[in-house]
């Protein structure tokens, strides 16, 4: 359970902020029912600071388009809400909405096949695609201090380091409208995000074992992956 000194939405039993079932013209929900670790209670200043950001016209428009995209992913039917769009189509639709023409694809060499498919799909949809794979630069791993026994293919093998910083720089310098991350390794993705200066979205994250679907381990954490839930004493 979250301590009451820092935000812990993931532990929240109420999710009062969703105000589900209320009419559009209802009042904001009362904070009386939120838990003590609710960020609305702990950090009220963050909300006014954030709303000030949304008041900047470009930010407001971007946020509006993102919410329109979210809306278009559902269909209201007599029997309830249905979802409609896979992420790939969402990326295309959102990029179109934003008026983007040139997209940057930062991909992992392990997903070169998928990068080819993504590029073909985006190009067929009228986008120009700048793509850069992680091993670009051909810099050996020794350059960042990797020892021979830390190389995947063995101590004697040449191994090119993943170079997410140069991926970001090439994408920045290519003046793309938006970057798309495809399967970068954990940590390498962190560096790419740190150095990427253009709007960025993620098509897929890497999970070598689960077909790039890390949530599969959560969905099976009651059975095959129950080791994930073991408490460290
Ligand atoms: S913001 Fe508050 S009410 Fe909403 S999920 Fe977080 S803790 Fe719960």
Q: What is the mean pLDDT of each run of 10 residues along the chain (233 residues)?
A: 85 94 91 94 97 98 98 96 96 98 98 98 98 98 98 97 98 98 98 98 98 98 97 88
Strand, coil or helix: 155 = coil
What pLDDT score was predicted for residue 206? Answer: 97
Structure-token match 């009451």, residue found = 4
The gap from C-alpha 88 to its chain's centroid, in whole angstroms, comes to 13
Q: How far apart are CA 100 and CA 98, in angstroms?
A: 5
- Residues paired with 179 in a beta bridge: 104, 200
Write the residue with the smallest CA distance to atom 5 of ligand 1. Answer: 15
Q: Which atom of ligand 1 lies closest to the CA of 13?
A: 8
Q: How far apart are CA 2 and CA 38, in angstroms?
A: 10
* Domain at 86-233: CATH code: 3.40.50.1860
What pLDDT score was predicted for residue 2? Answer: 62
**Considering the entire predicted model, what is its pTM?**
0.94
- Kindly give, in sequence order, each residue whose CB lies less than 8 Å from that of residue 56, ignoring residues fewer than 6 positions away: none
Q: Which atom of ligand 1 lies closest to the CA of 33?
A: 3
What pLDDT score was predicted for residue 233? Answer: 83
Residues with CB under 6 A from ligand 1: 9, 12, 14-17, 34-35, 38-40
Distance from Cα 20 to the centre of ligand 1, integer Å: 13
């Amino acid at each position: 359970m979250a301590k009451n000194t820092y935000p812990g939405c993931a532990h929240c039993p109420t999710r009062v902020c969703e105000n589900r079932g209320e009419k559009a013209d209802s009042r904001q929900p009362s904070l009386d029912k939120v838990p003590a670790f609710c960020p609305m209670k702990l950090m009220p200043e963050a909300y006014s600071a954030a709303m000030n950001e949304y008041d900047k016209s470009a930010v407001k428009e971007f946020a509006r388009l993102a919410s329109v995209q979210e809306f278009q992913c559902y269909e209201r039917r007599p029997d309830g809400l249905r979802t409609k769009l896979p992420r790939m189509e969402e990326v295309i639709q959102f990029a179109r909405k934003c008026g983007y023409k040139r997209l940057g694809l930062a991909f992992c060499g392990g997903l070169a096949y998928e990068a080819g498919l993504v590029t073909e799909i985006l190009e067929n949809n009228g986008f120009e695609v700048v793509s850069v794979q992680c091993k670009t630069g051909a810099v050996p791993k020794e350059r960042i201090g990797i020892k021979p026994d830390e190389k995947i293919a063995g101590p004697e093998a040449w191994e090119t380091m993943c170079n997410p910083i140069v991926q970001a720089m090439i994408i920045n310098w290519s003046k793309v409208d938006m970057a798309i991350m495809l399967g970068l390794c954990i940590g390498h993705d962190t560096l790419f995000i740190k150095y990427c200066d253009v709007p960025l979205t993620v098509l897929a994250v890497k999970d070598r074992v689960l077909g790039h679907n890390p949530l599969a381990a959560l969905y099976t954490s009651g059975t095959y992956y129950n080791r994930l839930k073991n408490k460290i004493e």
